[in-house]
Amino acid sequence: MAQHDLILLGPPGAGKGTHAEYLKTDMNYMHLSTGDLLRVAVAAQNNLGKQAQTYMEAGELVPDDLVIDLVAERMEQLGSDEYYLLDGFPRTIVQAEALAEILEGIGREQPLVINLAVSDAEVVRRLSGRRMCPGCGTIYNVHRDGLDIGDNCPQCGGELYQRSDDQPEAIRNRLEVYKQDSALLIEYYRQRGQLVTVDAEQGQEEVSAELAQLARRGRLY
Ligand code: ADP
Ligand code: ZN
């Protein structure tokens, strides 16, 4: 039974991290997050890391050619029995076109692009409800877990706090940035028949089940 290679798109708060983790552990996907790969490069202070660092610290996109090289290298190492899950890439049309070309070059089918759809109101609700533990790093949610600022973490006792960029105003800004950046990409993949939209306002289990089904199904396009 063939699996699809996947690209995950979705606004902050869509649950991309959770779903990527599920696809990785339960379906054996190779999770390729350009954000993670770049952070590793910066920490190692290798050539790529040194070049990427300034952009990342300024909250800007790293130049296309650097990120494309990074992804191309991973793609060329993929075995024919391995499936990847791209997270954080492509971010631009130039990157999307380069990816299509890389895949053609290695004779691999184009991936299915999963758009995790969540309304603005739900994004604001989810992110403004987020509470972080400084002790163990666990992320809670007021709405889901009933734990609020100042409560103690059930796992380590740390005092929960809220990230400053999880205030409604900052969330709306991040959402606007995401929408501007993703609109062209979504349109690009829609035109090529690669886009599938999943209602990410459903419960985690329902979303996971849909993702598993999409990942396993035969050709969709
Ligand atoms: P965030 O959700 O904060 O954007 P990521 O982990 O996806 O987090 O990315 C962190 C940073 O890494 C970005 O702000 C950007 O500088 C860089 N980056 C990640 N992916 C890409 C990409 N596809 N193109 C350009 N820069 C990227
Ligand atoms: Zn904790």
**Each residue of 5-48: pLDDT tens digit?**
999 999 988 989 889 999 999 999 999 999 999 999 999 999 99
Known catalytic residue at 190: no
* Cα radius of gyration (the chain): 18
Q: Is the CB of 100 under 6 A from ligand 1?
A: no
Q: Is the CB of 99 under 6 A from ligand 1?
A: no
Q: Is residue 91 part of a domain?
A: yes
Q: Is residue 221 part of a domain?
A: no
The predicted model gives 65-80 an average pLDDT of: 94
Known catalytic residue at 74: no
The predicted model gives 196-207 an average pLDDT of: 93
Of all protein residues, the one whose alpha carbon is nearest to atom 23 of ligand 1 is 89
**Residue (of 45, 114, 40, 107) closest to 70 by Cα position:** 40
What's the pTM value of the predicted model, to 2 decimals? Answer: 0.87
- Residue span of the structural domain in which 72 resides: 6-216
Q: Is residue 10 part of a domain?
A: yes
Q: Is residue 103 part of a domain?
A: yes
Residue 211: pLDDT over 50:
yes
Known catalytic residue at 174: yes
pLDDT band at 218 (very low <50, low <70, confident <90, very high): low
Residue 187: pLDDT over 60:
yes
Residue 221: pLDDT over 80:
no
The answer to whether residues 6 and 29 touch, using CB atoms and an 8 Å cutoff, is yes
pLDDT band at 165 (very low <50, low <70, confident <90, very high): confident
CB within 8 A of 33, min separation 6: which ones? 20, 87, 88
Share above pLDDT 70 across residues of the chain, in percent, rounded to a whole number: 98
- Closest ligand to C-alpha of residue 133 is 2
List the CATH number of the domain containing 147.
Answer: 3.40.50.300
Q: Is residue 141 part of a domain?
A: yes
pLDDT band at 80 (very low <50, low <70, confident <90, very high): confident
**Residue (of 111, 86, 81) closest to 221 by Cα position:** 111
Q: What is the pLDDT of residue 59?
A: 84
Q: Is residue 37 part of a domain?
A: yes
Q: Is residue 197 part of a domain?
A: yes
The total number of structural domains that make up the chain: 1
